[in-house]
Structure 1
Amino acid sequence: MVHAILSPAADKPAHVPDALVYDFDIHADPGLLTDPHARILDLVHNAPPVFWTPRNGGGWVALSHAANYEASRDTEVFSSEFVPQAQMKAMLASLPPGAPHIPQPIPITLDPPEHTKYRQPLQKVFSPKTIAALKDGIRELAGELIDAIRPQGGCEYMAAVAEPLPVQVFLKMLGLPLDRLPEYRAIVKEHMEAIDSDRAGAMRRLQTIAAAMRDTMLDRKDNPQDDIISMLWKLEIDGQPTTLADMENYGVLLFIAGLDTVMNGIGLAMRGLALDPALQAKLRADPKLVAEASEEMLRRYTFTVPMRVIRKETVLAGARMMPGDMLKLFLPAADLDAQEFPQPDSYDLDRENNVHIAFGVGPHRCLGSHLARVELQVLYEEMLARLPQFRLDPAHPTVFHGGHVIGIESMHLVWEV
């Protein structure tokens, strides 16, 4: 059992009944850090479909598929604007002349219709057609990374493949220098770990991220290249040319999403494969099954936990919520809900109606889902084609992390040479 320091317990609000209180720390729960999806199955079986936890500042956690689906689609009640836009605009307007811009990860922190205005220009950047054009390059990089480890008979997979593949792909897409990869990853990791414990410091951390990209952004304005930053400069938002402030808003969102999320999905999926030699054999025999296999792996090991703030008094799955309450959309639990997926703990390649919500649902559905799918499928194909049967190394237990993106810190794989 992993031991971590739980966050301080917040006082229970008067409107929260004792029956809906369940003590769970999204960052430090011991079970989550020992085997996250085993612990999530335990939550699904033993906690209320929506519960209030005193940890991480105090707030609601939605487990059931129905509750997550409802809250994800109702942006008027379950808002992504943790600071209302009117308040944010007033604050930015009050800054003294020459004060540094405070970037916002737009459009993820907006609700419709503002959200739609800023998201629409990004659709082209992440369209299936655009991503399909990257597939050969992703496959080449995956092959290089796997060929480098094959003679060793084993590796720490996160550092060797799961991190460099999506991070290098995304840095190239954005147009950011690859030699700064360790610096960029450290900045993102600090931000993700502090989301709940230091909400007040979010603006400072976002300014740090924007500063790390600023030289490249300014250069691309005058010297455009074939990358996302150059493409963003050509966009119009509501009929107006893109400003540096717009660029930094977009940039911090893409930076955080591209440099953290997918590597965790890759790690969890490859662990699932390493634990299932029969599935490996089936996919090696028929690689055409890989696309379906990766969808079921996304469902079985969903990894993102978006946040919402309650704007109007409401009831969700029997839980009465008040304005200002925080809600975590626990998508990993939603995709293990037996009401939606019979025998959810089973990996079933032939599962019917596998409409998982690993990438969310509603207006905020993940913009990068096409890219993530291509990376996962290509990596499955190349791992199975280039390596013999691989398994977890019993000498090095897998180390997990919790948080708003659940994943793996280190995972050692071994195979015969």
Structure 2
Amino acid sequence: MSDIGLPARRSAIYLLDQIMGEGKLMSEVIGAGALDRLDPADRARAQRLATETLRSMERVDRLLQRHLQKYPATTVRNALRIGTYELCQGEAAHGVVNAMVTIISKHKRYGHLKGLVNAVLRKVADKGVEQWPTLRIPRLPSWLRKPLVQAWGAEAVVGMETAFFATSPLDLTPKSDGVAVANATGGVLLPTGSVRLAEAGQVSAMPGFTSGDWWVQDAAAAIPARVLDAQQGETVLDLCAAPGGKTMQLAASGATVTAVDISPGRMERVAQNLIRTGLSADTLVADVFDVTGQYDAILLDAPCSATGTIRRHPDLPFAKDGSEFGALIALQERMIDHALTLLRPGGRMVFCTCSLLPDEGEVQVEEALERHPDVSVERAALNRPGNDAAWITEEGGLRLRPDLWAEHGHMDGFYIAALRKSP
């Protein structure tokens, strides 16, 4: 790594350019090779800088507003944003300012703005560090905040924003012995059976990774498979399976599992995870609507807005604007209907989304029950270890929100419902 961290900082600016300017998710940009030329340390630093700047964006922009008469071009503004974030986290001013000035001075279009970058960041270094903690916790953009306040109330949304602003922990799903995994990794065993680490280094170097004793999966994301409660000898279908956390949970039960995902690359990751953990499942690259057959149990983790995962993916509110919600809701409806045709009489299905929007959860189930009189909600399935009865909703689903579980460090947002087909 260079003395002033140019490769990592330049790449972090590029990530913000793609997210803020082009509407791309960070995972898309990284998947397209944006960080491939960096060494592992710079790659991790670039991703961390971009992620934490996005998490703090409102504070960063409020500080910059005090020193700018008008906003410069996106790339220059993003250099100022990352520099401001670093300064307010205690990085040495001379290193941050010199790095950002150097990066902009070498830009073929914006090199003439190096003086602006120098002047603004020096002013932030002089006064912004003291002002930083006095600023409010960043709010979600209005396109998302408004429907969430309407659904859950202002107080709940402030709680969600508090959770989003905090650094997210690392959760592990044990293959079998949660106590042993917690002891080996130094984590805490959560009431639902996941293991939580406040901080973690390189995941692949942690005890139990190579031997496949666990896999990374948010505690909330591990609950749907526990609600389905697959049994040995059952045939189970995992739809939209990648990256495979739920597939491995189902396979660990001894059930005969078929995992389906439309993405070959993501399904390859599922296959690799199964090999590492020594678990067995059939993997099928296919469109959900092309799947046939009859199964005892189905887990449908449908594509959604992913608004429940913002604490792990703070790029989402800046890359999206909500315009795709209608198409996603329609797709979920079609997927529910098709999945129910694959369910044997008397079989059960868990429908879930990592969304905070009722239209992608509670409303979907209410409308599915109206369309399918032979299907009912199975409330008893929600009574799994660690699940709070207060999470159960009026129509009989489970509503998980980031403002809940504060005593354990919060969780991602999820909606989960267990459906039973008439015998």
Under a length normalisation based on structure 1, what TM-score does the superposition of the two structures give? 0.24
Q: Considering Cα pairs closer than 8 Å and 6+ residues apart, tell me whether 1 or 2 has the greater RCO.
A: 1
Under a length normalisation based on structure 2, what TM-score does the superposition of the two structures give? 0.24
Please say which structure displays the higher CA radius of gyration. 2
